[in-house]
Amino acid sequence: MELHERIRFLRKDTLKMSMDAFGKQLGVSRDTINNIERNRLARPEQKLSLLKLMCKEFNVSEKWLLDGEGEMFVSDETEYNALIEQMLSSENEFVKNIFKTFALFDEKDWEALQHMVEKYNSVADSDGILRYDENPAAFVPDTPEKLEKIAPPI
């Protein structure tokens, strides 16, 4: 696989990013990414600084990107970080806010979320459709204390 093919593979198949989003994160246009992926730049040194930035932004191994050797990502942790960064750079505000909210969770928040998911699963039928009409009270906590345990005040 050639350098330009690895870049396309990284962007499209691994990070699942559009040329626009990929370019935006790197501070270049979609056309620049398109030209690189189609190997249209006559002088490779034109893109060296951009390649180094790709490695930094997406935690990609420079050796893999430039030579096709070794692992694509520096480590599993950095791969996860790149995926999280991709979500946070999304234009979808809901996606960004969900990730930001989860980042602020403490142990009690995670327990409350787990409790809510377990409660959902206990009243969902095999298709995953809630049966509110059968037992709507199953979703209402019995006491204020239980409500605060499920959804602590912010």
Closest to 141 (Cα-Cα) out of 133, 152, 154: 152
Q: State mean pLDDT over 134-149.
A: 70
For residues 17 and 59, state if they share a domain. Answer: yes
Give the whole-angstrom CA distance, residue 151 versus residue 154. 9
* pTM for the model: 0.50
Q: Which amino acid, one-letter code, is at 29? A: S
* 3-state SS class at 111: helix
Look at residue 133 in the predicted model and tell me its pLDDT: 54
Domain count, the chain: 2
Look at residue 59 and tell me if it is in a domain: yes
Are the beta carbons of 127 and 119 closer than 8 angstroms? no
Whole-angstrom CA distances from 49 to 37, 44, 62, 65 are 16, 10, 12, 13
- Angle at CA 5, nearest 5°, toward 13 and 88? 40
Which residue range forms the structural domain that includes residue 30? 3-92
We report the CATH number of the domain holding residue 62 as: 1.10.260.40
pLDDT at 18: 94
> Per-residue pLDDT tens for 20-30?
999 999 999 99
Does position 145 have pLDDT exceeding 90, yes or no?
Answer: no
When pLDDT is averaged across residues 62-78 and rounded to a whole number, the result is 85
Whether 63 and 110 share a structural domain = no
pLDDT at 88: 77
Question: How many C-alpha atoms does 75 have within 13 Å on its Cβ side?
Answer: 2
Given a cut of 70, whether residue 136 has pLDDT beyond it is: no
Based on C-alpha coordinates, what's the Rg of the chain? Answer: 22
Whole-angstrom distance, CA of residue 82 vs CA of residue 88:
10
What is residue 137's predicted lDDT score, i.e. its pLDDT?
A: 63
Pair (88, 123) in one structural domain: no
Do 63 and 112 share a domain, yes or no?
A: no
Query: What are the tens digits of pLDDT across the range 101-117?
Result: 888 999 999 999 999 88
Claim to verify: residue 43 and residue 81 sit in the same structural domain: yes
Bridge partners (DSSP) of residue 130 are: 124
Query: Is the distance from CB of 59 to CB of 74 less than 8 angstroms?
Result: yes
3-state SS assignment for residue 76 = helix
Is the predicted pLDDT of residue 128 greater than 80, yes or no? no
HSE at residue 142, side-chain half, CA atoms within 13 A, is 0
